[in-house]
Structures are given as structure tokens and as C-alpha cells.
Chains A and B, each alone.
Chain A
Amino acid sequence: MELFSKKNKEIFLSPLGLNNPVSVQVLGICSALAVTSKLEPALVMGLSVVIITAFSNVIISMLRKTIPNRIRIIVQLVVVATLVTIVSQVLKAFVYDVSVQLSVYVGLIITNCILMGRLEAFALQNGPWESFLDGVGNGLGYALILVIVAFFRELLGSGALLGFQVIPQCLYDAGYINNGLMVLPPMALIIMACIIWYQRAKNPELQEKSN
């Protein structure tokens, strides 16, 4: 079996584009709204989700033949919760400032629909390597949307990127002001909608057929 066969590439790449978990499947929206007012927490959140989706997919995929069917959801939850707890502890120990900013949202990765969705739909039927690719792909698909949204929110809301002032002072002197609405949660929804709109306009196959 080839490691990067055509099928595996497809597994890895489709969540980044036409099968994006956030913009196409509309999963995991809540955290995407909450942690995107600045770029840095969005990056850390995205990275955390990539790690957790990848490893929970691998673990469940390796255990898939042993898991009793009746408690499979519980087993999945335990695996996800364990990984989330470990990630959150590691964040607290090594990047304390960011973990303060992310506050409860790291813990809430447990309830992120993308994770349970991938475990149920993919990891239970496929081998560890494919599941790993699927997990990384879906995590990156989620992170991608988060970063795009955070990019616009931080740029227009605070005039900065990753905490560095990008919009020059002379523009402020000329009367430009930061858009305060951008740092509030509703704007995340609006930017998200714009992304979905753009993606659907570019890819007609995503549009529902009208009756």
C-alpha cells in the first residue's frame, strides 16, 4: 500500500477545500466564533484541534475492531476528553498567556462536532494511517477557516496582526478608526458567511439544486 496514494491525497486534501468541516459541513462553528478576535489564539486553537483530531482518529482507528458497539460513543468521548485534557495541561505549562486567552475553549474542543463526526464517520471504518490523514486534514480545514476569520477581525478590529500594529499611525491621524464591531462575536459570523458565499460562488457543485 502506498503511503500517499491518490485516495490518501484525496482524504487529506478534501477537508481543506470542497469538504471543509466548517464552511461546507458547518460543524464546530461555536468555537470558530469565540476564539477568532485575535490571530494568535486562533492559531493555537487550530493547532490544538489538528493534534486532537489526528491522534483521536488514530487511536480510535487502532481500537476499532475491539470497541464494543454499544459503548462506542463513550469510548470515543473518553479518548477525545483525555487528549483535550492533556493538550490543555500542556498549554498551561508552556504557553500560559495563550491558555489564559483561550480559557474554556480548549476544554470545549471535547464537544466540537468535527471530532465526533470524524471518529464516527471515518476512523471506525478505516485504518490508522488513513485516519491520521483524515484527522490532520479536517483539523487543518478547521484551522484554515479560523485563521482567515481571525486575520480579518484582528486587522480591521485592532489594526494589528499577531499583536503587531500593521495599520500605520498616519492613517489614524488622517481620521481612520478601528472597527469596534469586528472584535465582537457577530462579525465572526458575518465573515464566515462571506467565506461560505465565496466558496459556493466559486464551486457550483456545492450549491443545492432548486426544485
Chain B
Amino acid sequence: MNTNSNSYTIIYASVMVIIVAFLLAFVSSSLKERQDKNVELDKMKQILTSLNITDVEDAEKTYNQYIKSDLIIDLNGNTISENGGFDLGAEDDRLAVFVCDVNGATKYILPLYGKGMWDAISGYLCLNDDKQTIYGAFFSHKGETPGLGAEIATPNFQGRFSGKTAMSNGEVKLKVVKNGKVQDASCEVDGISGGTVTSGCVSNMLQDYLTKYKSFLTK
């Protein structure tokens, strides 16, 4: 057979593309459920990390144990829905609040989204029931410089937030400052040496979102 004729080439290409399309569609749809589950479990683990709970075996079980509800609120701090906050993304106008119960104490977790130095950063900030002091924090990033800005994703950096004052008298106080330049230790967090720009981005993200949540937090 002449494998160089036009019709052979066209038929060959068409058949190949159809076979590949079916194959990929099959693989994608058969793995979809597992992949979505992974993304969800990863999100739960991140939320739990902001509650200072790490190394969880069964993220879903631990999540359900601590997180009592995922509220959806509007910018004025009014509750729109008692649950569904988990599925809200960065682009949504509405805000999510996770209400948690850690050994009888109520904690509030606020999701954060912002711009890093190279790509998006995100995180969760956990506040005590006075809605002012910080219980824990979690940050993740897409493409910050490894070893420098990327250190925001380490427990070392995230641990620096615990106990700081986020808001006081209705004003956002919390900020991340250049490494070694902390003046007021009650509300300033030491940045990362060599990761000043990323640290600043974390600071902006925190202030943006604390401002957005202001009416909820001062209620």
C-alpha cells in the first residue's frame, strides 16, 4: 500500500485523532472523581494547618471533627448561608468563614487570596473567638522563589503569626515587615530574610482581606 498518498495520510491522521480523543476522554473521566477528591482533601489539610493541626491521617474526618460550619457572608458581615463557604473561590464577591470548635473554644478561619512576587499566593488565617488575636496561619504559593519567598509555606514562617493582634479598635493592625525590622511585636510579624517582596505581598493580602472582613470581625 502507498503510505504516501494524500487520502491515506488524511485517513491515518483522522483515525489516529479519534482513537486518541476517546482514550483521553476515558482516562480523564475515570480519574476525575479521584482528582477532585484530592483537591478537596488538600484544601481541608490547608485549613487544618491554620488551626495548627498538621500530620492528619484522615483529613476529611479531622476536618468534620473541628470545622462546625462554613458560612457565606457578604461584605457587610451579614450571613447569607450557613454552609457552602468551602466551595467559594478567589473570584467570588461573597466571603467564606469557617467556624471551628477546638476543645470548646470557637475559632474563625478566613480564606485569603493575593498576588505574590511571581504568581498567586493564598492562605488561611485563624482568629480566636475575640476575632482580634491570631490563633494560626497557613500560606501557600504557586511560584515564589524556592528558598526565599517560598519560605512563606513553611511552619517556621507560619508559626510567627500565632498570638499577634490582627485588629484592634476596628482597625487592621497586622502587617509583615522586613526581616529584623519588627518594632511593635504585638502586631508586626518578622518577614523572610531575602524574601522581602513576597513577605510584603503576604502583608498586603492579609490587610486586604482583614479590611474586607472588617464588618464581620467588628460585629
Contact = CB atoms under 8 A, between A and B. Distances in A.
Interface in B126-165: 142, 145-148
A35 to B, nearest CB: 11
A70 interface: yes
B27 A89 contact: yes
B123 to A, nearest CB: 16
A75 B17 CA distance: 9
A82 interface: yes
Interface string A167-184: 000000000000010111
A82 B17 contact: no
Interface residues of A, number: 28
B12 A71 contact: yes
A93 B3 contact: no
Contacts of A92: 31, 35, 38
A61 interface: no
Contacts of A103: 142
Contacts of A121: none
Given A69-B3, A85-B24, A96 B12 contact: no
A89 B12 CA distance: 26
B82 interface: no
A157 interface: yes
A66 interface: yes
B3 A67 contact: yes
B24 A67 contact: no
Interface in B16-33: 16-17, 20, 23-24, 27-28, 31
B38 A68 contact: no
Interface residues of B, number: 26
B3 A68 contact: yes
A53 interface: no
A86 interface: yes
Interface in A45-75: 65-71, 74-75
B146 A184 contact: yes
B38 A96 contact: yes
A70 B24 CA distance: 25
B147 A183 contact: yes
Given A37-B146, A180-B194, A184-B146, A93 B35 contact: yes
A96 B28 CA distance: 15
B9 interface: yes
B39 interface: yes
Nearest to A70: B9
B126 to A, nearest CB: 22
A75 B16 contact: yes
A93 B38 contact: yes
B3 A89 contact: no
Pairs of residues from A and B, 5 with the lowest C-beta to C-beta distance, nearest first: A183-B147, A96-B38, A93-B34, A93-B31, A68-B9
Interface of A: 37, 65-71, 74-75, 78, 82, 85-86, 89-90, 92-94, 96-97, 100, 103, 157, 180, 182-184
8 contacts: A65-B3, A68-B8, A71-B9, A74-B13, A92-B35, A93-B34, A96-B39, A183-B147
